[in-house]
Amino acid sequence: MLAKVYSSALTGVDAYPVEVEIDLARGLPKFNIVGLPDAAVREAKERVSSAIKNSAFEFPTKKITVNLAPADIKKEGSSLDLSIAIGILKASGILKKDEFRNYSILGELALDGSVRRVNGALPIALDLKKRGVKGLIIPEENAREASVVDDIDVFPIKSLIQIVQFLNGEVSIPVYKCNLKEVLRQSSIYDMDFSEVKGQEHVKRALEIAAAGSHNILMIGPPGVGKTMLARRIPTILPDLSLNEAIETTKLHSVTGLLLAHQALIGTRPFRSPHHTISEAGLIGGGRIPRPGEVSLSHNGVLFLDELSEFPRHVLESLRQPLEDGMITVSRALTSVTYPARFMLIAAMNPCPCGYFGDPGRECSCTPLEIQKHLNKVSGPLLDRIDIHIEVAGVRRKDLLGKEVGEPSAQIKERVDRARAIQRERFKKTTLYSNAQMNPKHIRRFCKPEKEAEELLRSAIPQLRLSARAYHKILKISRTIADLEEKEKINSSHISEALQYRYLDRELWRR
């Protein structure tokens, strides 16, 4: 007896259809799974047989062959358990329904027949919509996530018995629906604010510019001055995620299993802060079976690298491609996967090994050679890819002890939103969304400074030893400053302020 059930599997952050074919034949009882299954899929034999028996169904004592098509793509994970079990029950005659083409079935089976959540429900639902499949039978814990996709009927299930009764028409399962606007509204709330930061107005200004133009930023300063505190509040002033951005972000977290049970969408911009001992594979993605790294998990959000100089140099150098391209390709012997990685890089570091070089309140104990060796841990090419370099000094005593409350994130965000709206209008006929993405062609078109401003920039190039990339970064930062002031032309004050965000860094690195 032959049966066919339809399911889905993942490759990278995308899904593809899987046909689960089950053949019951005469012969010695045996259970084989073919079609390039990994260890988790092969172990489904034990889970499926126990779940069927413990759900009060008879497990066939025949030669069982399960084929997972297409057979040339490796199948991973436990999400095919449920479709294999349904196929066996259909081939055994327990399921009377003949046609399952309109349903995609996935879920992990427990030994008692209950159904557990799986990874990647959202990308699977998106693929089903693209292929015109109308029904998705999925674990209850994944239903909220999958219901984000319209035009798909999501049927949440708890057990193998329930799905058999549903497919036999004995019970009905209501289609799961969710309110997308309400989901995004509830999930875009932060529990921190810029008003909690005392002083550091010049750093807040630099962070506002970085947020307005999606520029990368490096903060240099002694320990305890608030670098981490400032960085963690950057998402509160970034524009709200659009629906498409929320779906992109949620897909990445879904396939890695980081999405919480019953969570529909990630409505806030991701903030990832890996430890400096992270490996290259952990940062950019990889492993025997490729998985997204921190650069992809921070897609549409912020990647914060604290203690930048403590990261291994080869790990930092691996950031070059995603910083330039907004994506990362992970190649292995059997497969090559491309993950999105468009993030805002926020880095922080001490200026020397002891941390107090240049601090007026405490003397540095490091030798010039130690300082230079410490700073050289971050390469010039990587620094050129960081748009803004800002020195963070200690908070003044009167600011620290004063009762004045800083400007709240909501007010800063209003200015950032207006600047981003100007950029959307500017780039509406291109694929860009922010000033930081401009290439030299766009810079020539959109970043034309006034004559006086152009002369100022030309005179600064030899003095600050600016590379061609740094020159373009300054023009892009100037364009963002002008956008924040809602000015069409870049003037000398915009160039002058933008130069400050390269000058501090260059002076420090030349010592």
Residues 6+ apart with CB under 8 A from 302: 231, 234, 235, 238, 269, 270, 271, 272, 343, 344, 345, 346
Give the predicted TM-score (pTM) of the model: 0.90
Residue carrying structure tokens 């950029």: 423
pLDDT in the model for residue 58? 93
Angstrom distance (rounded) from CA 508 to CA 332: 40
Report, as an integer, the average pLDDT of 132-143: 93
- The domains located in the chain, with CATH, are 2-167 (3.30.230.10), 186-510 (3.40.50.300)
Lowest average pLDDT, out of 75-79, 198-202, 301-305, 444-448, goes to: 198-202
Angstrom distance (rounded) from CA 218 to CA 383: 9
* C-beta of residue 282 within 8 angstroms of C-beta of residue 294: yes
Strand partners, 451: none
Angstrom distance (rounded) from CA 28 to CA 15: 36
pLDDT in the model for residue 505? 45
The answer to whether residue 1 scores a pLDDT higher than 60 is yes
Over the range 324-354, which residues count as b (16 or more CB within 10 Å of their CB) and which as e?
eeeebebeeeeeebbbbbbbbbbbbbbbbbb
pLDDT in the model for residue 379? 86
Strand partners, 77: none
Amino acid in the structure at residue 401: L
Report, as an integer, the average pLDDT of 16-35: 93
Q: How confident is the model at residue 187 (pLDDT cuts 50, 70, 90)?
A: low
Three-state DSSP at 197 gives coil
Q: How confident is the model at residue 510 (pLDDT cuts 50, 70, 90)?
A: very low
Q: How confident is the model at residue 98 (pLDDT cuts 50, 70, 90)?
A: low
Tens digits of residue pLDDT in 36-65: 888 888 899 999 999 999 999 999 999 999
* C-beta of residue 434 within 8 angstroms of C-beta of residue 239: no
pLDDT in the model for residue 504? 47
Tens digits of residue pLDDT in 379-417: 888 887 889 999 888 777 666 666 777 899 999 999 999
The answer to whether residue 5 scores a pLDDT higher than 90 is yes
Tens digits of residue pLDDT in 252-286: 999 998 988 777 888 889 999 999 999 999 999 98
Residues 6+ apart with CB under 8 A from 293: 281, 282, 283, 284, 285, 286, 328, 339
- Say which residue, 511 or 184, is predicted with more confidence: 184
pLDDT in the model for residue 481? 97
What DSSP character marks residue 256? Answer: T
- Say which residue, 290 or 89, is predicted with more confidence: 89
